[in-house]
Structures are given as C-alpha cells and as structure tokens.
A and B are shown apart, each in its own frame.
Chain A
C-alpha cells in the first residue's frame, strides 16, 4: 500500500512517540514494581498499618469459695497537653454548647473531681509550656475518669492504667501479697506469678485516616493470653474472724506481733493463716514493712511447751516410754547438766508422782527432760525432721523460713533436753500447725497446701498440690498423745473448754532469746485439735512479746474464740463419747 509522503512521516512519528511512551511506562513499571518494590511496600505499610500491643490481664486470686481476693482492674491516668493550654480562657462544652470559661475554673473543676490540688495541676501545666504531655492525676477510678471526660476540656486526655485491686483489704492481705511498680512484691502474687502472669500479644491492622480499622485487614500476630486464676485454700470468713480476734487480743496483750493458723487435719489445707499486724495490699504503707509478708511462714520462733506433744508422740512411737509410765518429777533438775546449769519448772512444786500423761498435761519441763533422756539426740532429730521441722513446708511461701533444728554436733547436753520442750529449736507457725495436723491425722503427715489449683483460661488446671501423706508416728502413739491433750482444757487451762465438745490443747510460754541470751520477753501460744475424738481442725495461736500477760493464759481467749467460731462456721455437732481417762499421777 502506498501513502502520501507526509502521511507516512506522521505515521512513523506517531509510532516512534507511542513506542517511546510505552518504553517510558515499562521502565517506570519495572522500577516501581521490581526495583523499589520492597521499599515502597514498607513505606506504604508504615503509613497505613498500625501495630497494636494487646494486653492480657493478670489473673485473679480467689479464696476457696470463689471470693475475689485480688483482681486486675482498669484505672485511668488523667493527662494534659500543656502546649494546647491557653492560661487565660478555655473553651469547654457546657450543656451542649461550646463556651469560654476562665482556665482557672477548668483547673478547679478537675481538681475537685480528681482530688489533685489545683496548684499542682497548674504547676503540671506550666512546668513546660511546650510539652505535649503532663500527668494531672494518676490511677483514678472509672467514676472519676468519666466525670473528667464529661467536662469536655479540649486539652485534657486520659490513658488506661492497668491496676490491681484487693476487694477484701487486709483480710488475707499477708497471704495475697501485692504488686509493686516492677511486678509482684510479696505473698501469693509473687509465689504464683507463673500462673497469674499474662502474656501480651500483638495485632496489626490497616487504619483509615480517622483511625477506623479497614475491614479485612486485621491480623492477630500473637494472641494475648490472660493469666490464670489462683484458688487458695483460705476460708475468707474464718480468716477475717481470726485476724479480728488477733487484732483485739494483741492490742489487749500489747504484743509485738501475732499469728493464728487453722488447718484441715484430713487434707492439709490451710483454712486460715492470720497475721497481725495485717497488711492491706491496697495500701501497704499503713503498716511497717516487716509486716508485709506472712509471719506465719517467715518468722521462726522458739515454740516452748506446744512442742511437748511432738516429743511424747515420738517416744511413744519409738516404744521407749508408755502413757502411764511412772516418773518422780522434782521442780528443779541438774541431772547430767554441765556446770551450774539447771532446768526447772515454771512453778515450784515438790517431787510429783506423775505419769507420762501427767507430765504432758502439767507441762513439766523437768519431766520432759527426763522423758527426753530416753531417746538419743540423733533419733529425736530424725523424728523432728519427719514431723517437718528444719525445712520449708510444701507451700514454699514467699520468704518462708525453714526454722532451725540444730545439727547433732551443735546439740549440747542442755539443748538435748530443752529441745523436748521447745527451747533451743526454732519453728514457724506453719510447721507447728503441720505437726499438730500429723498428731490429729493419726500419725500421718499431709503436705500443707495454700493453693488448691491454678485455673488457666484455656480450661487446663495446674498447681494441684500433692496430698500424699507420710506416716510419722504410729496411729496409736498419735491418738494416745491427743487423748492426753484432751485433759489440758479440763484440768489446767481455764477458758478453753467448750461444753459438749472435746478439745485437745497444749499451751506454750517460750522465752525469747536475743543475741544468744534469754530475755524476759515471751512468746505465748496455744495449739490444739478439735473435735478430739476424731480431729478435723488443727489450730495454732501465738502472740509475740506480750506486755500485760506473759503466760500462755494470755493466748487462751483467742484460741477459745477461734475454736468456737470453727464449731459455728463448720457446723460441728457436739462430741460423742467421753474424754479418755488416762491417769495423771500414780
């Protein structure tokens, strides 16, 4: 085909231009799609994509009946942008219309709601006028936050501040523990952190200009995991009652501190571990920092005579003594002791014709020394270790002490005898109540437990305690010892007996050593079991360094009130049978 020359020229030009244009586009396309692809995609993602950290919430701590002892709550920080603040006037939304009010009025309104002094707010706003961020109030409740938000002040902002709340306050506070700014600081919060702790997750999504998530762009990279719920063995009502009684009695006695524990004999579950002073995890600074932990686990003391039943049960089990064995017991004793050392009873008496039961019920130190001589120090130490002394309990509580049973090479002739009546040996209330649990459970010691289980959000359960028992002494030795203790409330200790109920109890008045020397300070205790015919509950109450009454009688009212409360709360029917008649004298 032939074309005129001009037409042909135009066509060629067009073809060349189109070809150039296409070539240009191709180059650009290659550049955008291949050469700079990664860089451009990244920069696009940067502008559109938002990566969000999603927070799992820390698990709760609940009591055995589900009462919440600790939970995660949202608090709010009220913040401001000082750069936006005009100190003369602020435009706020009042009754639906924007109105100018003096800034001082806005500050006063915030101050009134949050409780932060107006002067402090003004300081925060003016400290750095160019700043974009300043705290006006921290950790306020939803109610306060909503009131502040309702003021509609343009330069006021808020952010969520995850926090921890303890609805029962000081009830179980020593057991629950608390969180500091850097994490768990004490108690179960620290002990069970692995169960309670949440795992943060991340979510990415593409956002529109006004912050709305574009549909279908949300990708959960890592799901946030809430923490598990720790279920304690604690009975909150009994725990509260025990703390209330300790508080009342410790004030009367002028004691420095006090502990009370109640353990279920047949399970080893700790129903109550009360401490006084009681820390309120909501505000730990209300008590001294030495009361922030649980003294029932962390403060070892020389228990005194409440140790005697352990000695008697051990020797009955070993077969070296019998319940009605006849002893001649003077009040002052130097037999086999070095130098001018002596052991004597708490009161003067002539040489008494006591049986083993008589020595235990009358709490004779001299008699116990004579009993102790029947067993070697090594054998006694083995028994003490089997009872759980000199080692932490299975609870493994935060700051728990293992107490002290001296190694054999440090046991001298005096300690060899005094250990039998609870001096020269240091125990915690938890260890002591565990020993009584063993006696009450017919000689089988069960591991103490404070946590029933940890329930994870996925339905799995962990931290289930081992409830396998170990035999420490024979059932006969344990039951005989408990039967002897039944006579304590009826014969020697006033105010503990409860009509219709059989209660085994033992008192203890221990001398407190300071710097290796015994002082006139005492730790007074009552420990016991009820109902004595088939014990269900082991109870230990101790007051440290009382002023007004320095004998164990001072601890009796608290023990009596606690046992009465146990009878009421757990609906224990009156005892059957009568107290075994083991002769105390011969």
Chain B
C-alpha cells in the first residue's frame, strides 16, 4: 500500500487491513507477509524521530548557549560596574583635591610665593568721552598684613605645594609593596593627590611650584 500524504496518516494506514477478523487466521502467516510492508512504513517514522530528537537537542543546546552568554554578560556587567565604581571614586578624589587646591587660602599663598601682591583700586576709562576716572590707591603688600594671620583649611593638609613634603607620589600607589618601604621613590610636588596623576619628573623635588616656562 503506497503511502502518500502527511505523516499523520502513516500510523493509522497499516492498521486498517489487519483489523478485520485477525483471530480467525493462524498467526504465522500474518506475521510473514505484512512484515516488509511494516518495515516500509517504519522508515519515515525513524526520520521523524531523528528530526524530533535533533530538534530538541538543538533547542536545548541553543538555550544552554544563550544562558551561558547571558550569565557571561552578567559577569561582564559586574566587572564593568566595579570598574565604573573605581573610576568614579578616582574622579571624586581628584575633584576633591582640585576643590581644595583652588581654595582662596592656597591661591593667595601660592600667589604670594610667586611674588604677587594685592591690587589697588582700578582707574576707569569712559569710552564715550575718553575721560579717565578713579584714583589708584591701595595695592601692594600681603593680604596677611605681615601678621602671619591665616584662615585655616585642614582640607589642604598634605596638598601639594602647601606642605613642603607631600610624601606621596603617583608611582608609589601602583606598585604597593615595592614602594611601601621607607624609601619612597621620586616624588613630584606638582602631581595631585589622586593616583592616576601623571608624574612630572621634570619639575624636580617635592614642593616645587609649577612655574611657567618662557619660550
């Protein structure tokens, strides 16, 4: 019996001829003859099973790979989040030291170290009339008035340029043990307190001011 059509018909087709009155016949004859037919019928079934099992295997494997990928992504996310946290901390620490370094206390101290003095009042030029007005008074000298008076800032403790010995350098951070000993490597007074600051070895010992180079 030729098999046509869909696979859904396959299992039921061979069952029909065997159905009418099998009990009246001797069982041996029945077994021999239909056997090749049944084999012919079973062949497509095997292909179906193979396809089915392979399909399931592929789906399972796909799912496995997918979840591996997702889990791997989670580790990557976790790692990047850790990195981000570290970088944010760096940024905050650098900003903090920048804020302290731009405080009026340090700016005035550094300005006076460079030999700067306070300014006087300003003369004005009227662009309409060309007349000048105002008298230049005051100016010169230190804001501290020679009394050594100073508005304190604990935030500047250890900041470069303010304390003579900043005692730390960017290089000593990276290598841990090798620089942890009493002999700290080349320090730069200009480098900010944060760890990622570039070390300006050209500027010499600690406490050196960042003086401009005339070209």
Given A143-B93, A143-B194, A500-B134, is A150 in contact with B175 using a C-beta cutoff of 8 Å? Answer: yes
Chain A: interface secondary structure?
mixed
Chain A residues lying within 8 Å of B152, measured Cβ to Cβ, are 169-170, 278, 280, 286
Pairwise interchain contact B180-A278, C-beta atoms closer than 8 A = no
Chain B residues lying within 8 Å of A215, measured Cβ to Cβ, are 70-71, 73-74, 77
Pairwise interchain contact A169-B180, C-beta atoms closer than 8 A = no
Size bracket of the B interface: 35 or more
**Residue A549, interface by CB 8 Å:** no
Given A167-B99, A240-B104, is A95 in contact with B92 using a C-beta cutoff of 8 Å? Answer: no
What is the count of residue pairs linking A and B with beta-carbon distances less than 8 angstroms?
A: 163
**Closest CB of chain A to B117's CB: distance in Å?**
13
**Residue B127, interface by CB 8 Å:** no
Pairwise interchain contact B195-A74, C-beta atoms closer than 8 A = no
Chain A residues lying within 8 Å of B99, measured Cβ to Cβ, are 67-68, 71, 165, 167-168
**Residue A341, interface by CB 8 Å:** no
Pairwise interchain contact A71-B138, C-beta atoms closer than 8 A = no
**Closest CB of chain A to B118's CB: distance in Å?**
9
Chain B residues lying within 8 Å of A103, measured Cβ to Cβ, are none
Q: Which residue of B lies closest to A68 (CB)?
A: B99
**Closest CB of chain B to A497's CB: distance in Å?**
10
**Closest CB of chain B to A206's CB: distance in Å?**
11
Interface residues of B in 95-152 (CB under 8 A from A): 96, 99-100, 102-105, 108, 119-122, 124, 133-135, 137-138, 143-145, 147, 149-152
Given A237-B104, A571-B122, is A150 in contact with B135 using a C-beta cutoff of 8 Å? Answer: no
Pairwise interchain contact A171-B180, C-beta atoms closer than 8 A = no
**Residue B173, interface by CB 8 Å:** yes
Pairwise interchain contact B70-A151, C-beta atoms closer than 8 A = no
**Closest CB of chain B to A235's CB: distance in Å?**
11
A240 to B100, CA, bound (A): 14
Pairwise interchain contact B96-A500, C-beta atoms closer than 8 A = no
Chain A residues lying within 8 Å of B190, measured Cβ to Cβ, are none
Chain B residues lying within 8 Å of A167, measured Cβ to Cβ, are 96, 99-100, 102-103, 153, 155
Pairwise interchain contact A283-B149, C-beta atoms closer than 8 A = no
Chain A residues lying within 8 Å of B181, measured Cβ to Cβ, are 109, 112
**Closest CB of chain A to B126's CB: distance in Å?**
9
**Residue B1, interface by CB 8 Å:** no
A141 to B158, CA, bound (A): 12
**Residue A540, interface by CB 8 Å:** no
B residues at A contact (CB < 8 Å)? 70-71, 73-75, 77-78, 89-90, 92-93, 96, 99-100, 102-105, 108, 119-122, 124, 133-135, 137-138, 143-145, 147, 149-156, 168, 172-178, 180-182, 193-195
12 contacts between A and B (CB under 8 A): A73-B96, A113-B180, A143-B194, A165-B99, A167-B102, A169-B156, A214-B74, A215-B73, A500-B121, A500-B134, A573-B134, A574-B133
* The 5 A-B residue pairs with the shortest CB-CB distance in the complex, in nearest-first order: A169-B153, A150-B176, A167-B99, A282-B154, A240-B104
